[in-house]
Structure 1
Amino acid sequence: MTAALKRLLLMSMSSGIIFNYMGIFINLFIWEKGNQIFDVAWFNLIMFLAWGVAFMYGANLLSKFTIGTVMRVAAIGAGITFILLSWVHFEPKILYITMIAVPVGLTNGLYGAAQNMGISLFGKGKEFTAFFSATNVIGQLIAFINPLLFAVIIKWMGFTASFFIMFIFIALMIFTSYFVPPISLKEAKEPVFRKFGIRQVFATPQLKWMIPSLIAGGFFIQFQGIFSLIFTFSVTQDKLSIAMLQIMYTSFTIACVFLYRRFSRTRPIGDNKWLTFGMIAAAVGFLLALFPTPLILILSNILTTIGLFFFYTIWSSRQFIATYRLEPIHQTRVLVWRELILVISRMFLLALILGIHDFDGFVFKAVMIFSFSSALLIPYFSKKSDESAEEMVLQGVES
């Protein structure tokens, strides 16, 4: 892994604490307003709308500024979020949730644009797998410590105290941003959004297969992401118990890290087989959710968490490998479209989730089966993309 990627890894570590908190405790804060699936789904829907807009704006900013500057703007967005959470409270609830969701989405979108551009411009081949694997390990360590630490703070001192503490990590994020590589698109000969048509950007067969893979991936990520939290919140309202469940899920992910590394070294198991295994585990987890008892919901979360590890480690690295030989401006266009497709597919699923009132209704079962099917399709799309890349190489050799 290059020195540049290692510095981006350091940035991921400092920002990961903020994003882990946002992912668990802001959703819990919203859930406690009325214990309604609609509230959490609406918060996430608006967040991803802001996320998509911010990602596009962040990509445009990179034609003028470095990724460090964009990351600092993202940190300011996080600061605005916690100011609103600390001092602003009003009715109606849906408007209040919307107001909180917008800066959270802006923070994620701007940071995602800066980080993804940095990874794509500095990574080479297998470095992507190493980077995402290392990111996963760091993320799991944060997922071990963060929930327990803030669960104790919230239980003893309340949400407001935890919001104030987050300003320390926002300051750390700003400080760390000065040490990331000075990457930008200033030298690009044309704007990001020129020649931005989807057919122009996804011009090769390998890139075209990314589109259905991204759509299916967005459905899978969103169903797992929102219901892993809602299932946990449904099992217990105690914040320490919620933290311990999150730590247990993290333990299974770390076990997957060791299994993946050990068997990848000692046995010729291809990444596509690991991805298939992960998606089957996730699909079984989805099916178990049809029987929503506390123990079954916990087991469902364990299996979908295992699936998510293999998805992020293998699928994400392949997405970047497919683009790293492209010109920087073309890479940027692919990554912007990649994020937009993921955001749109996640928003589509969230729109369906808005109609879910309980785990026994028809809508929940229909959305679950839809997500189950999407998870099983991901290895197929990934395999077709690999086959297209191999055909291109063979055609190049023959010519």
Structure 2
Amino acid sequence: MMAVVWVRERVPDLPRDVWWVIAVNASMQAIFNFVTIFVNLYWWRQGESILAVSLFNLAGTVALFASYFLGSHYLYKRDIRFVMLLSSIFAGVTFLALFFYVPGWRTLFTLGIGMAFGLTQGFFWAANNSSMYTFLKSEQYADYFSINTVLGQAIAVAIPLISAGIVGAAGFRLSFLIMLVFVLAAFVVSIRLPHKGLAENLFQGRIGFREVFAKPGTAWVMAVVMCTGLVNQFLTLFSMIYIFTVSNNVGIVALLNIGYSFILLAALTWYRRAHFSQDVWLVMGIVLILASYGLAFLVPKNGWSTIVVLLMRVGGLYLQGASGRQRYRVIMQGDVVWRTRFGLWMEFPFALSRTTILIGGLFVRTLGDAAFIVLTAISSGAMLALPLFTRMAIRRYEAAHGVGAGL
């Protein structure tokens, strides 16, 4: 009895609908974590090809943004539950297609599976973002994000460990079938979501540039999103490639990712407890990432790759956390429909930035070649411009709402 009371005192008091959203998030995070590590490793092991990994992620990115817009349309025509169910269905298609993969048709399967996974992500994020704006009150955001963060870190440790054991014992194909358990869990929990959607059609009425960007700081946020997307996609793609260059052994890759997860958890704890300004965290992230780029070019790859990835991920955590928090202040100015419409506009620079890096990745043959240097330069330029654009957005926002508003 005392244990039950202890748990109740520490578990945030959130509405039941929000807990169902959190449960869906946990199931989908397990799927995303598995695909990010093991499906990309699966393509890499087909011939240690950066091209195959880039092509898979590029196809997924294109499908992600197309399905995000389609999902946003269905948020008005149908509801959040319908869009989330679509996401889980395409997750099932992804793993079934991986199970039936034919090596002779590698390019076709790479594109098709990448698109199926992109549809999974696009529908999920459309429904997830809308559910966050619809079900949560402003004072509940902190509890919601803290729960998702804790669950995300637990999943980042558990899924690689469990999946590595399954892949090592039974191979990739059986592991793809076992992932259907998580797909089924996401589907069942999604059914419990309420029939709630948007009250207005996002693609009618006030969706033009002048209407959406009339609020202070919003135009500069688009530049922030563009820069952040360029940096994050570069870090995501090549930190993964650097891990694969250390070893393509499933167990070692899993242990490396688990180790990075523990380090990121410690870095996240410091980020929350240290009373630095968001500008300081942003600069700290940039310095760590630039240090990783320097090491990548100056020292032997295999011996220092783990350190390069460590600096990339910790730096990326601070950069994304600081820029995201500042961006979120500007986004929270309007009502649910305006925020969702603004989110649709933000998808354009986000899509452009991600596809730019991934298309460039198709031309990278080895780490350190000319194409890799060009992508590193693009990422570095975007990273150095990010503090300026963030400052411009916040300056205009605070001029209208007051210094420190929204923190």
Give me the TM-score of the superposition, normalised by structure 1.
0.91
- Pick one of 186, 199, 221 that aligns with 2:232: 221
Could you tell me which residue of structure 1 aligns to residue 348 of structure 2? 340
The equivalent position to 1:212 in structure 2, one of 181, 199, 223, is 223
Instruction: Identify which range, 4-13 or 158-167, moves more after superposition.
Output: 4-13
2:281 aligned residue (274, 278, 294): 274
Q: Cα deviation per residue 1:223-247 (whole Å; 9 max; x = unaligned)?
A: 1111111111111011100001101
Q: CA deviation at 1:70?
A: 1.0
Structure 1 match to 2:9: none
Q: Is the 8 A contact 1:129 1:317 kept in 2?
A: no
Q: Is the 8 A contact 1:28 1:233 kept in 2?
A: yes
What is the match of residue 288 of structure 1?
Answer: 295
Q: 1:356 deviation in Å? A: 0.8
SS at match of 2:76: coil
User: In the alignment, residue 348 of structure 2 is paired with which amino acid?
Assistant: L
2:174 to 158, 161, 169: 161
- Tell whether the 8 Å contact from 1:121 to 1:324 is kept in structure 2 after alignment: no
Q: Classify 1:281/1:182 alpha carbon distance in 2 versus 1 (closer, same or farther; 3 Å).
A: farther
Comparing 109-118 and 124-133, the one that deviates more: 124-133
Q: Check the 8 A contact 1:125/1:321 in 2, yes or no.
A: no
Aligned to 1:60: 73
Q: Partner letter of residue 388 of structure 2?
A: Y
| More displaced stretch, 379-388 vs 252-261 | 379-388
1:195-210, aligned counterparts within 5 Å? 195-210=206-221
CA contact (8 A) 2:360 2:375 kept: yes
State the distance in 2 between where 1:5 and 1:273 align.
33
Q: Is the 8 A contact 2:61 2:355 kept in 1?
A: yes
Match of 2:109 in 1: 96
Aligned to 1:249: 260
Conserved? CA contact 1:132–1:312, under 8 Å: no
* 2:366 matched residue in structure 1: 358
| Residue 171 (str. 1) matches residue 198 (str. 2) | no
1:1-399 residue pairs with structure 2 within 5 A?
2-3=14-15, 5-89=18-102, 91-123=104-136, 127-128=140-141, 131-180=144-193, 182-185=195-198, 187-188=199-200, 190-264=201-275, 269-290=276-297, 291-393=299-401
Of all paired residues, the percent bearing the same amino acid is 27
Distance 1:178 1:56, change over 3 A: same
Name the CA shift for 1:313/1:129 in 2 (closer, same or farther; >3 Å): farther
Shift of 1:142: 0.9
Q: In the superposition, relative to structure 1, how do residues 318 and 32 fare at CA in structure 2: closer, same or farther (>3 Å)?
A: same
Is the contact made by 1:192 and 1:329 (CA closer than 8 Å) also made in structure 2? no
CA distance in 1, matches of 2:379, 2:103: 35
Letter matched to residue 286 of structure 1 = Y
Does structure 1 conserve the Cα–Cα contact (< 8 Å) formed by 2:20 and 2:190?
A: no
The separation in 2 between residues aligned to 1:293 and 1:229, in whole angstroms, is 13
Letter in 1 for 2:116: P
Amino acid of the residue matched to residue 272 of structure 1?
D
Note closer, same or farther for the CA distance 1:194–1:296 as it changes in structure 2 (3 Å cut): farther
Q: 1:217 to 1:123 in 2, by over 3 A?
A: farther
Looking at structure 1, the residues matched to 175 and 79 of structure 2 have their Cα atoms a distance apart, in angstroms, of 31
Cα distance, 1:133 vs. partner?
Answer: 4.5
- How far apart, in 2, do the equivalents of 1:300 and 1:127 lie? 37
Q: Distance in 1 between matches of 2:188 and 2:285?
A: 37
Deviation string for 1:256-291 (max 9, x for gaps)?
Answer: 122122223xxxx22232232223222222332223
Whichever residue aligns with residue 79 of structure 2, its letter is T
Task: Tell me if structure 1 keeps the 8 A contact 2:51–2:361.
Answer: yes
Quote how far apart the aligned CAs of 1:195 are: 4.0
Q: TM-score, normalised by structure 2?
A: 0.89
Cα pair distance change 1:66/1:314, threshold 3 Å: farther
Give the 3-state SS of the residue equivalent to 1:143 in structure 2: helix
- Bigger Cα displacement from structure 2, 383-392 vs 76-85: 383-392
TM-aligned CA distance change 1:181 to 1:383, over 3 Å = farther
Query: Secondary structure at 2:331's aligned position in 1?
Result: coil
Q: Which structure 1 segments of 5+ residues have no match?
A: none
Displacement of 1:202 in angstroms is: 2.4
CA contact (8 A) 2:41 2:248 kept: no
Residue 148 of structure 1 contacts residue 243 of structure 1 at CA under 8 Å; is this kept in 2? Answer: yes
Q: Distance in 2 between matches of 1:289 and 1:15?
A: 33
Q: What is the root-mean-square deviation of aligned Cα atoms in Å?
A: 2.2
Q: 1 CA distance for matches of 2:356 and 2:108?
A: 21
1:77 positional shift: 0.2
> Across the two proteins, how many residue pairs are aligned to each other?
389
